[in-house]
Chain A
Amino acid sequence: MTRSQPALELVDVEKGYQEGGRRHTVLSELNLRLEPGDFIALLGPSGSGKSTLLNLISGIDGPDRGEIRVAGVDLHGLSERDRTLFRRDHVGFVFQFFNLIPTLTVEENLLLPLELAGRTRDEDRERVRGLLGRVGLEDRAGAWPDRLSGGEQQRVAVARSLAHQPSLVLADEPTGNLDQATGTWVLDLLEELVRGSGTTMVMVTHSENAAARADRIYDLNAGRLELREPRTV
């Protein structure tokens, strides 16, 4: 990827839902451009469309209008299956509720994205072990997720989001379900890993403190994205 090709580009994106007989617009005329390695935070009240935006960026959902390009690829131009495969290879997720697979061990949870992408070489496994070490859970590799604390589960989720070396990480309120101290610790880790690998990250959060870590903060209000001036951070 070169500087001339943005990591993420949103052009005049619009998205709405039909509610009974009325159409409810969630996002309108959204424009955004992120370069590789950028880390941005999205702030906004509940129902402002933050999660919807993440779903659009990941290709889980499609826009009504506009274009979404990830690493130069127009997601809307892909079939549902190709969008899934693209997501598998290029996007990492961190969810508010961790969403670890309860029937896979910690290590297997990390290996899952790699296996889905058909990458099961020894060096991939080595990297997973290294990642577990980086999040401080190398001794819990064989543990079941429900035996971990919330903070530990989110650390596994952070490691999983980066296991297959995506170009883009989408974090949906990654600390929303954690106490402040644990949340801070997890954010430190996430930031360190993302910045260390040069990955682009979009983080949705309610927390001003969490947002403050980002390179830029965007407010999502009434379906529009507004870049916050640096002094207000």
Chain B
Amino acid sequence: MSKQLMKGNDAVVCGALLAGCRGFFGYPITPASEIAHTAALLFPQAGRIFIQAESEVAAINMVYGASSAGVRSMTASSGPGISLKMEGISYLAASELPSVIVDISRVGPGLGNIYPSQGDYNQVVKGGGHGSYRCIVLSPNSVQEMCDFTMLAFELADRYRIPVFVLSDAYVGQMMEPLDMPAAIDPPGPPDWALTPEAATNGNVITSIFLNPEEMEAHVLHLQENYAGIQRQETRCETYRCEDADLILVGFGIVSRILRSAVDQAREQGLKVGLFRPQTLWPFPETQLLEHVGRVHDFLVVELNNGQLVQDIKLFVAGRSPIHFMNRVGGFVPSPEEVVEKARQILGKDAAAPVREKSSEVSVPK
């Protein structure tokens, strides 16, 4: 049967193979290691390349090489490894090399622990490496999406010549769900800018050094133009029971699954609560979020970090609606009941008050 029960991490490898990924270059780290294990098992069987690199730094540079050679390639890691890869990611962005990086984030800072966290949001969504660049960031919340979004990541990477992150967490990576195997694709051959052992590409150069400030400015502006196009075209989100909601819960990844349960529980108790779930963290589905501003009384942002996405939500909403915040750090996740309780407090306290008079303060994480 085409449906198989598997871990989110394994689904990433399926997605990569189905998308025609030719090379996986990685370094083991919990809770992302199943990706390397499964890639080590399946990539050679598919006639694809698997290398356990000597370091995260080497792994991302192998991706850099394979991508410059015009084939689809990827790496996967978790927070501490992603930090090490940031040099290479900046170069990938600067050289406009399509590439896919999977982050099964764990708790930080530092060595932290291996439990679920969303503390890599700022690092991954805002850049993390040096210079003025962006990466597309996809946020799956199910095993199916771990596969589908990995495939999508390769497609977007090629379309926009940009590194694409699949930012997930230890729960979605370790969780098993049925995967309905999507159809595989044969990716196009190397693009005309690639380095290949063919006469057609002779003399091609890939570089990110522009010593002349005018050339460098033109290059950076060219990148920003690409990013603007991505922002217009590629925002994705999912909403659930938002139509008549008084309060919209906002969260990504595993949190969005908990929030979905919380929405159902809240509705059973007569609280009009909906869910807004960004599937692209960059570009953020700002327009889709703002459609709810004014109509909805409040937003409650829930994260497994010290309040990172909430800062962006505040920027987008710009004081037009109160924004509340709830979080767990250290490896815990909030229960749906705790979220419903918070929702009740917000709606109970503020339900009758006019929108404009409400405070837009973000609650400080305890």
Do A and B share a complex? no
Binding site for B on A (CB under 8 A): none
